[in-house]
Structure 1
Amino acid sequence: MHNPLTPVPFRASGSDGSGRQGYPPAPEPLPVPVMDNHTHLDFPWDGEPRVSIADALDAAEAVGVRGAVQVGCDLESSRFTVQAVEQDRRLLGAVALHPNDAPEYAARGELEGALAEIEALAAHPRIRAIGETGLDFFRTEGEGLVHQRYSFRRHIDIAKRLGLTLQIHDRDAHDDVVQVLREEGAPERVVFHCFSGGEELARICNTEGWYMSFAGTITFKNAANLRAALALAEPERILVETDAPFLTPHPHRGRPNASYMVPYTVRAMAELTGWELSELCAGITENTVRAYGSWDQYDEN
């Protein structure tokens, strides 16, 4: 069986007749390498075989994506993240309880214990961020939001005490996320993962020195707000990500995403802004290292 990340001809439908489509073909390599600063290697795409960490990163490196940040969303995936960063040094990691999972831990009386374990996992030297954490008003409501806010504040505290970057999940909650960050005092480095705001949030990020991480959503037809935000974003604030296996960029939306798909998003960003592609790539790499530190094997010092 072929590696599903190996470039293959377009497959119109799954062999089971389900209509599912496999991984898209590899894009043209980038002229200067970048990093995918948010991916979920432990999340398989429905109907597709799980891809090994080495295969996924080999496919990415072949098109100029030389490293990635593997992100945990609960205890299980955060434990996986620690194992993954030990397995392949092209990975750094982030660990946290997703805002939609925090109320579930609280309902079971397990939130405090889970937060304590996240802090313990975060002590690993290749865990460079606390995330993804934040607020999600799309999937959680009512009393669950109380636990979300509490969990978010606790994650901010952990990031500050450990000197780690904070990765923000912000869905339909821009004003409240900013309010909590200002009330608690934001960590030195904050990344708005899968940036979903518009011009107003972009201006706030510029002012506060927070990073804006753009995903494949920047290529979607209905993403005028993201394109307006990108136009306003200071070059020093811009990162790129996949959020794989989700948010696959155009023209492959609806198919599984992976780190090797980053070039589609980066090229779209260059076209939208008019920035020279090589300069944009170099800037993204510089920003990513500034946000998370060195991937070691690429450290020239």
Structure 2
Amino acid sequence: MIDPSQYVRKREKGERDVSYPPPPEPLAVPVYDNHAHLEIADGPSRDDGGLSLDEQLRRAAEVGVVGVVQAGGDIESSVWSADAAASHPRVLAAVAIHPNEAPAYAAADRLDEAIAVIDELAAQPRVRAIGETGLDFFRTGEEGHAAQFSSFEAHIALAKKHGLAMQIHDRDAHDAVLETLLRVGAPDRTVFHCFSGGADMARVCAERGYYLSFAGNVTFKNAQNLRDALAVTPRERTLVETDAPFLTPVPYRGRPNAPYLVPVTMRFIADELGADLDELCAQVAANTLAVYGPF
């Protein structure tokens, strides 16, 4: 088993503020971060005081975020995710080849090999999801769509084979993702990670029994479609995530995201819905455990 600390990707940084935001007020009722990429170092480098995995989890626990689903997107990050889950009781893993990575693997004639690695990782007891997988027509042109479809369908088959949940990445591909799930048949527990559709799509997902996971971008001024989707999503199908280190919620947008910032998004969601925060946290936590099982 590899040491998770030996595989850390650095996020590209320009002139933005790379300091981590201050910790928010703790939640009274604990919740879980449904999707994060803690193998990606952000903010200062590790040598300059960036957050280790242990520090990420400590900070999260201090504000009532008691578990994280760590998601892979290629072979290396999926191995890292599985090993992190095996080593840390507050981490579960999701493993997959990201749709934007699938064309590169296919071009190197390695997509089948990569999916075979995901198949092996999926057998580990603390790997609880296949993800993130899906379709991305924003970053990948038409020449890569065939590889994305092939990879997506293979991942759906793996989720069913292992009885795991599936985390979907869907960017500018709503109709194609929904059509594929209907045609092939979705796994029993299907999650739209960082849901990016609107109210109409949210209604379709709810009717089909899918879960919608909302990230910090639900707080963005230009994201009314996400707030409209949130308003029509049944509470029993609602999840929360960071997608750390990305999509940091307002008022910290542009700075590094981390699981300890989930309370910022949870409070925004509760205010937006006019819901009691503690009751909503209890529901979202129960939904997370229903999807992934106990930590």
Normalised by the length of structure 1, the TM-score is 0.91
CA distance in 2, matches of 1:238, 1:205: 11
Once the two structures are TM-superposed, the CA of residue 19 in structure 1 deviates from its matched residue by 5.2
Q: Report the CA distance shift for 1:101/1:289 in structure 2 as closer, same or farther (over 3 A).
A: same
**1:141/1:122 Cα in 2 relative to 1: closer, same or farther (>3 Å)?**
same
Q: Deviations over 1:73-112 (max 9, x none)?
A: 0000001011101111100000000000000000001000
Q: Are 1:37 and 2:28 an aligned pair?
A: no
1:55 alignment partner, SS class? helix
Q: CA deviation at 1:18?
A: 4.7
Shift of residue 21 of structure 1? 3.3
CA shift, 1:206, in A, is 1.1
Change (3 A) 1:273 1:137: same
Cα 1:252–1:108 shift into 2, 3 Å: same
Task: State the distance in 2 between where 1:33 and 1:172 align.
Answer: 33
Is the Cα contact below 8 Å between 2:156 and 2:166 reproduced in 1? yes
Q: Indicate if the aligned counterparts of 2:18 and 2:43 stay in contact, CA closer than 8 A.
A: no
The 5 Å alignment of 1:88-99 reads: 88-99=88-99
1:34 maps to amino acid: V
State yes or no: 1:65 paired with 2:62: no
SS of the residue corresponding to residue 66 of structure 1 reads strand
Query: What is the one-letter code of the residue matched to 2:283?
Result: G
Q: SS at 2:82's partner residue?
A: helix
Aligned-partner residue type, residue 241 of structure 2:
E
2:139 counterpart of 1:142:
no
- Supply the distance in 2 between the matched residues of 1:142 and 1:47 (Cα, whole angstroms): 37
What's the RMSD between the two structures over aligned residues? 1.1
Structure 1: how far apart are the matches of 2:121 and 2:42? Answer: 26
Identity, % of aligned pairs? Answer: 56
2:3 is matched with none
Q: Distance in 1 between matches of 2:234 and 2:226?
A: 14
Structure 2: distance between partners of 1:24 and 1:142: 39
AA aligned to 2:173 is A
Higher alpha-carbon deviation: 75-84 or 46-55: 46-55
Query: In structure 1, the residue corresponding to 2:41 is in which secondary structure?
Result: coil
Residue 27, structure 1, aligned to residue 24, structure 2: yes
* Amino acid paired to 1:135: L
Q: What secondary structure, in the 3-state scheme, does the structure 2 residue paired with 1:67 have?
A: strand
The one-character-per-residue Cα deviations of 1:264-299 (angstroms, maximum 9, x if unpaired) are 00000000000100000000000000010011xxxx
Aligned equivalents of 1:223, 1:120: Cα separation in 2:
38
2:151 aligned partner: 151
Whole-Å Cα distance in 2 between the matches of residues 251 and 39 of structure 1?
A: 19
Deviation at 1:47, TM superposition (A): 4.3
- Counterpart code for 2:30: P
Give the number of aligned pairs: 279
Q: Deviations over 1:37-72 (max 9, x none)?
A: 100110011544342211100000000000010000
Q: What SS class does the counterpart of residue 212 from structure 1 fall into?
A: strand
Which residue does 1:291 correspond to in 2?
291
Gaps of 5+ in 1: 1-16, 296-301
User: Any conservation in 2 of the 1:72–1:96 contact (CA below 8 Å)?
Assistant: yes
Structure 1 segments of 4+ aligned residues over 4 angstroms from their partners: none
Asked whether the equivalents of residues 22 and 48 of structure 1 are also in contact (C-alpha less than 8 Å), the reply is no
2:162 corresponding residue in structure 1 = 162
Change in 2 beyond 3 A, CA 1:46/1:22: closer
Q: Secondary structure at the match of 2:251?
A: coil
Cα deviations across residues 212-247 of structure 1 (Å, max 9, x unaligned)? 000000100001000000000000000000000000
- Cα contact 2:18–2:44 (8 A) shared by 1: no
